[in-house]
Amino acid sequence: MNLYELVVADTEKIMLNDLLFSEENKAALTQIIKEHKYFEELKKYNLKVDNKILLHGHSGCGKTSTAKAIATALNKKIVIVNLSTLINAKIGETSKNVKAIFDKAILENAVLFLDEFDQIGKSRDSEDKDVAEMKRLVNTIIQLIDYFPADSLLICATNYYNSIDTALLRRFQIRLKFEMPDAKQLEGYYQKILSDFPDHLQDIPYKYNISYAEAKDYVHTTMKRQIISELEFKEQQQLIETSI
């Protein structure tokens, strides 16, 4: 597979204020963005910015959107790689591809976002692959992270925090957990996305104990059904009027 087929071209602009976070996560993300905006000023005082972030937690709770929002806030391009597509039977080729992706992001001064980080960052004690090969891959990643430029930004995401090698975990200055939304948070989210639709379509039952992504899919599916139903009804009415 060609390297550029592994990289997702994404130009979607997401604002940090459009996302829902815990107050803790919001404060940490705001601080990260400020540090990178004032990188040169902080450098004068030998103060290093935090540039390696791990986002972990339940699927569909905003990790990818967060990475995009950070890139938007910093007016940077984002290089998105789903690491599940990167794994190659020949571990040397996987290491080579990972290095090429790091080089691409650094050259373009882009935010590098590695999704499903556990796919290549698994513990070196993992039994699901040859231990020696996994060790070599993890060691390659550790070196790439250690030499990642201070003015660049690496964001990794995983749903399986506990499966990642502890030596890798230590490389991340910031580790933010994304929890499933509670009832109050979901209600606020429903109200926000429903506000884009006509008032008479907004009265739908809310679903709970689901992620933000699942809630969004539910609303959009329900809206499409209702809109299509209205259009079909109007078409039927027009046919009746025409036949009279």
Q: What tens digit of pLDDT does each residue of 153-176 get?
A: 999 999 999 989 888 999 999 999
CA distances from 177 to 49, 56, 139, 159, 201 (A): 20, 5, 25, 10, 34
The per-residue pLDDT for range 73-85, each reduced to its tens digit, is 999 999 998 887 7
**Cα–Cα distance, 208 to 220 (Å, whole number):** 16
- Check residue 210 and give its pLDDT: 94
Higher pLDDT, 85 or 68: 68
Closest CA to 215 of 82, 20, 42, 77: 20
Higher pLDDT, 86 or 88: 86
Is the pLDDT assigned to residue 130 strictly greater than 70? no
Q: In the chain, what are the domain boundaries? A: 3-178, 183-242
Q: Which CATH superfamily is domain 3-178 in?
A: P-loop containing nucleotide triphosphate hydrolases (3.40.50.300)
In the block, residue with structure tokens 């005082």? 45
In SS3 terms, 128-149 reads as CCCHHHHHHHHHHHHHHHHCCC
- Check residue 98 and give its pLDDT: 86
pLDDT-derived band of residue 138, with 50, 70 and 90 as boundaries? confident
